[in-house]
Copies of this chain bind each other. A is one copy, B any other.
Amino acid sequence: MTTRWKITVEYDGAGFCGWQRQAEDVTVQAIIETAIHAFSGEAARLHVAGRTDAGVHALAQVAHFDLEKGVKAVEVLGGINYHARPHRVVVVKAEEAPMDFHARFSALSRRYRYQIINRSAPLALMEGKAWHVVRPLSLEPMQKAATLLIGTHDFSTFRAQRCQATSPVRTLDELTITQINETFFFDVKARSFLYHQVRNMVGTLAKVGTGQWSVDEFAAAFAAAERVKGGPTAPSDGLYFVSVEY
């Protein structure tokens, strides 16, 4: 009898060429699928809530797969974690799910966090875990610009060319920017995001934060609904896939 397994996964993006399996490359999907095969003997295929790019981290990514073999949740968790070593990917939770559960299509919302460290000195402890921005950032103008993005809009200005979505319209439920000393956190929530949407929004908001753009210029770029009007794509290593709600 087939069992559908839902796994919650944490990984350090630095060690992987992103989530999705590609020939030859070390990807999170390939490591976990190989680990599943190693402990169960089955060639399961993983489906994931949010395919992440190279360098992007995850605190609680969610994926599912099916197994014919009857095993316990603790064996799924332990089996994958044992065989995934020494790669920095860990199953933090494994649970049985109904057969109609789908990690990607059942998701009601996804949360990402983006982290900037704003200082002149290079990063030692947080290298590869945050975007290092040297020009001083102001919180308040970024927060003002961010409120313009909340709600249902055409997000073409923040949509990467390679995006395969049929529509550029998305509903952004949340975009909160908080500052703790030299660190800025951008917390976003939406049902789904366009390709590179979070990194492009952060890269463009940072232009407002440094004073290169006014909030009005930001609003005009957003309203133009053209990628070329937006700011740069923030680097992948400041981005964290936080969680999924079902």
Contacts and interface: CB of A to CB of B under 8 A. Distances in A.
Interface string A109-143: 00000000001111111010000000000000000
Interface string A1-43: 0000000001110000000000000000000000000000000
Given A88-B127, A127-B88, A121 B57 contact: no
Nearest to A87: B124
Number of identical protomers: 2
A99 interface: no
A93 interface: yes
How many chain A residues sit at the interface, stated as a range, is: 20 to 34
A158 B119 CA distance: 37
Interface string A48-83: 000000000101000000000000000001000100
A90 B123 contact: yes
B88 A121 contact: no
B125 A59 contact: yes
Interface of A: 10-12, 57, 59, 77, 81, 88-93, 119-125, 127
